[in-house]
A and B are shown apart, each in its own frame.
Chain A
Amino acid sequence: MIDVGSFRSRDCYGISRRAFVRAGMTLPLAAGAGRPAEANVTAPAGPARSVVLLWLWGGPSHLDTFDPKPDAPQEVRGPFSSLATRTPGLRVSELFPRLAQRSHLYSIVRSNKNLTSTHRIAASIALTGQQGANGDADYGPAIGSIVQRVQSGRQDLPPFIAVTPGALKTALGIVRGTGGGRWGKAYDPVPVACSDTGQVSIPALKLLDGLPTNRLADRKLLLGQLDQIARLEGAAETWQESFRRAYRLLTSDEGRKAFDLSRESPRTRGEYGRSVFGQSCLLARRLVEAEVPFIQVNWSQWVENLFDSKTDFGWDTHWLNFEHMVDRHGPILDRALSTFLDDLNHRGLLENTLVVALGEFGRTPKISANAGRDHWPAVYSSLWAGGGVIPGQVIGQSDRQGGDAVTAPVTPDMVATTILQQSGIGTEQRAELRLFPDSHVIKELT
């Protein structure tokens, strides 16, 4: 069942004009006609038609996932043993048996580095590939926003979709580097929420409560109303585009189908696991099939692992790192990501879909007094698959205790540059957009 706001694909209700107007105002604003593609940047042709960024919000422990240290002292190694994989030299935590069996589908980078240990800032840097200005206030566009600006995708779907339980937050505030940034809200992603039961909703359209389908179909009438309202608001162009983007989703049968997980067999839905992340990965696969250029799947809305009624089990495991790894995070990630890679592979989609799984940093090698692990930006790991990436490799190396990179570090700008390059946004186009002039791709990956 897809829930577009409160609009369900099989039901319809009434809507007030006021609610309709407010709904439009909540959407990401898009400047210019149609979608926000840039006229002076050539549409790219890279190995990755779609990018799926699996955002492991909170910072997974690299030692307890993809860079175990079985020979380190107990206070570093932790309580988990490690498993051999199909890739020589690659062992992963024992919590990932399925991923261990599929290492021929992906490569692991073990020398990622970030610039700060503050979640919100580190996340913004990781998602944009660059530091902000004016403290934590002013960021460049997120990687997905850059792809959105250049890629067209299908006309009835937004080019940058964030499958997320909500806007990324910590107890201290919202993450700023998740959308258009200096380019404006026109390049923000369209957020879509997916529950553990596979219920999909588009929160930006929540206020379109009960719009009858006969009025939805009457595009001319709605656009006429919109023009009137927009003139009153004095922002006709941007407002109209925001409505168009919503309208496309609501009125395009094909567009809506992409969000409808009930079209999947129970077996397929189950294979991804009955978790928010699992069902979100399944939705991502459907969006890949629908040729959406950039899909970001957020593990959680909140960075915190445990947070009163807001608890949605982020990866920030200062406490209970090992308990949550074994209870939830390990099994859920192992199942969802393995199935996602298999599914893309079996459908012939992996070749032209770049999958990247990472968080904003790793976690302390030494286990804390609270029996958890704290923030660690000096070195951490990421997983790369498909989209022209050479699989079955371990790239980079951390030291014996996972404290620092002993090979050249992979910095956030390199992550961004590599994703853009695989999306067909090469050196020339990045130069036109004045992005990452001094950076380079992670050479071993491609």
Chain B
Amino acid sequence: MRSAIRPVAVVVAMQITVWAGVASADPPLQLTTDGRIKRDPVFVDGGRAIVFTLQSDSPRLVLAKLDLASRRMSRVFPDANLPELKCVFSTDQRTRAWLRITGNDRVSLLVHPAGAETAYVVKTAKTVSWSPALTPDGRHVVFNLAGQLMVHSIPPKVIRPLAKSSGRNDWPAISPDGRRIAFGSSRDGNFEIYVADLDGQNIRRLTQRPGLDMRPAWSPDGKRIAFTSVRDGNYEVYVMSADGQQSVNVSRHTERDDYASWHPDGRKLVWVREVEGRYDLFQSTVVDEIKD
């Protein structure tokens, strides 16, 4: 059934010459109920599970996996005794990268390449890496190092700056075709979302509104970008066209909505929603609102 619907959705999307917006089709579906702080969900296993970061007693942060059919939650690394967070995957899930808090202001960025027996640490000096993103082919990881975006190639294990700029740069997200990168930057004032080629060229600003815009996430077809904005005075999830021309609030909720991520079908989003102070994963189907 799913495979029958998918091509239709793609055809509809292709017919839109001016993409105008999306809206939530139904009230968001609550996927977890424990209420503990969560962040960075990503769909895995073809959309049948979600890996995310979960507040824990000890260690403080763990990587958890939620099986959507059974709603059973398990730890990705059950034996980890250091806080770990922000796990990302290549499209085939054979390469993954994540963060591990290893000491006093020490965060290691680990990469486990496809086919390798073990993971390795990208950066070992006393620097803090943050917000890793993998290219779809798993050959490069982009991350925030001291406010600048860096690219690490796997192999040959070299690091180069993506594009140096004033201000802070964070939350890299690679487009599904692997050619573009969306990210947040304060180069023009407060945090806005920008897009550039993966070599750092052709940087364009996508958001123009007052208020923080951050955490871009590409839709699987590369036509939309979900992101978090406080432009309405509250953390909300928005979706905009990839050129930034149009955007719409898809969460419309009085508490915090953050860390949006797309389902592989391109029609559903998962994000962390705060409801009466409890943080849980919610999933929402978004549909095109205006078509021409």
A contacts, CB < 8 Å to B? 74-75, 78-81, 83, 94-95, 97, 171, 195-197, 266-267, 269-275, 278, 304-309, 311-313, 318-320, 322-323, 326-328, 331, 335, 367, 369-371
Closest to A334 in B: B256
Which 7 residue pairs spanning A and B have beta carbons closest together?
Answer: A371-B147, A79-B186, A270-B276, A270-B277, A319-B128, A81-B190, A273-B277
Contacts A74-B189, A323-B170, A370-B128: A80 and B212 contacting too (C-beta < 8 A)? yes
Q: How far is the CA of A319 from the CA of B130 in the complex (A)?
A: 10
Name the contact of A306 in the complex, choosing from B104, B211, B256 (C-beta under 8 A): B104
Contacts A79-B167, A267-B276, A270-B278: A319 and B105 contacting too (C-beta < 8 A)? yes
A171 cross-chain contacts in B, Cβ below 8 A: 104
B233 A97 Cβ-Cβ under 8 A: yes
Q: Is the interface of A mostly helix, strand, loop or mixed?
A: loop
A95 → chain B, closest Cβ, in Å? 8
Q: How far is the CA of A94 from the CA of B55 in the complex (A)?
A: 25
A271 B147 Cβ-Cβ under 8 A: no
A80 B190 Cβ-Cβ under 8 A: yes
B167 A306 Cβ-Cβ under 8 A: no
B20 on interface, CB distance cutoff 8 Å: no
Q: How far is the CA of A149 from the CA of B147 in the complex (A)?
A: 48
Q: A270-B275, A306-B106, A307-B105 are in contact. List 6 more A-B contacts (CB 8 A).
A: A274-B278, A304-B104, A305-B105, A306-B105, A327-B39, A369-B146
Q: How far is the CA of A266 from the CA of B33 in the complex (A)?
A: 13
30 A–B contacts from the bound complex (CB under 8 Å):
A74-B166, A74-B167, A74-B186, A74-B189, A78-B186, A79-B167, A80-B212, A94-B212, A94-B230, A197-B35, A267-B276, A270-B35, A270-B276, A273-B274, A274-B36, A274-B279, A307-B104, A308-B102, A308-B104, A309-B59, A309-B60, A309-B81, A309-B82, A311-B83, A311-B101, A320-B130, A323-B131, A323-B170, A335-B277, A370-B128
Q: Is the interface of B mostly helix, strand, loop or mixed?
A: loop
Contacts A79-B167, A304-B105: A197 and B146 contacting too (C-beta < 8 A)? no
B101 A331 Cβ-Cβ under 8 A: no
Closest to A278 in B: B277
B101 A306 Cβ-Cβ under 8 A: yes
A266 cross-chain contacts in B, Cβ below 8 A: 276
B130 A323 Cβ-Cβ under 8 A: yes
B81 cross-chain contacts in A, Cβ below 8 A: 309
B58 → chain A, closest Cβ, in Å? 7
B144 → chain A, closest Cβ, in Å? 8
Number of A-B contacts (CB under 8 A): 128
A370 cross-chain contacts in B, Cβ below 8 A: 127-128, 146
B82 cross-chain contacts in A, Cβ below 8 A: 308-309
B105 A195 Cβ-Cβ under 8 A: no
B103 A308 Cβ-Cβ under 8 A: yes
Would you list which residues of chain B between 143 and 194 have a CB under 8 Å from chain A?
A: 144, 146-148, 166-168, 170, 186, 189-191
Q: How far is the CA of A394 from the CA of B131 in the complex (A)?
A: 37
Would you list which residues of chain B between 251 and 292 have a CB under 8 Å from chain A?
A: 256, 274-279
A320 B189 Cβ-Cβ under 8 A: no
A371 B168 Cβ-Cβ under 8 A: yes
B217 cross-chain contacts in A, Cβ below 8 A: none
B166 cross-chain contacts in A, Cβ below 8 A: 74-75
B131 cross-chain contacts in A, Cβ below 8 A: 323
Q: How far is the CA of A338 from the CA of B163 in the complex (A)?
A: 40
Contacts A307-B103, A370-B127: A79 and B190 contacting too (C-beta < 8 A)? yes
Q: How far is the CA of A271 from the CA of B35 in the complex (A)?
A: 12
B58 A309 Cβ-Cβ under 8 A: yes
A97 B146 Cβ-Cβ under 8 A: no
Instruction: Please indicate which of the listed interface residues A83, A197, A327, A328 has the most CB atoms of chain B within 10 Å of its own CB.
Output: A327
Q: How far is the CA of A266 from the CA of B55 in the complex (A)?
A: 19
B278 cross-chain contacts in A, Cβ below 8 A: 270, 274
B211 A311 Cβ-Cβ under 8 A: no
Would you list which residues of chain B between 36 and 55 have a CB under 8 Å from chain A?
A: 36-37, 39, 55
B277 A269 Cβ-Cβ under 8 A: yes
Q: How far is the CA of A319 from the CA of B190 in the complex (A)?
A: 18
Q: How far is the CA of A328 from the CA of B58 in the complex (A)?
A: 18
B214 → chain A, closest Cβ, in Å? 7
B230 A97 Cβ-Cβ under 8 A: yes
B147 A274 Cβ-Cβ under 8 A: no
B107 cross-chain contacts in A, Cβ below 8 A: 306, 319
Instruction: Please indicate which of the listed interface residues B82, B234, B277 has the most CB atoms of chain A within 10 Å of its own CB.
Output: B277
Closest to B148 in A: A371
A331 cross-chain contacts in B, Cβ below 8 A: 235, 256
Closest to A79 in B: B186
A5 → chain B, closest Cβ, in Å? 17
B212 → chain A, closest Cβ, in Å? 6
Instruction: Please indicate which of the listed interface residues B57, B211, B230 has the most CB atoms of chain A within 10 Å of its own CB.
Output: B230
A318 cross-chain contacts in B, Cβ below 8 A: 105
A94 cross-chain contacts in B, Cβ below 8 A: 190, 211-212, 230
Q: How far is the CA of A370 from the CA of B166 in the complex (A)?
A: 13
Name the contact of B60 in the complex, choosing from A278, A312, A326, A327 (C-beta under 8 A): A312
Q: How far is the CA of A93 from the CA of B77 in the complex (A)?
A: 37
A428 → chain B, closest Cβ, in Å? 44
Closest to B256 in A: A331
B272 → chain A, closest Cβ, in Å? 11
Q: How far is the CA of A359 from the CA of B164 in the complex (A)?
A: 34
A275 cross-chain contacts in B, Cβ below 8 A: 37
B58 cross-chain contacts in A, Cβ below 8 A: 309
A196 cross-chain contacts in B, Cβ below 8 A: 36-37, 55
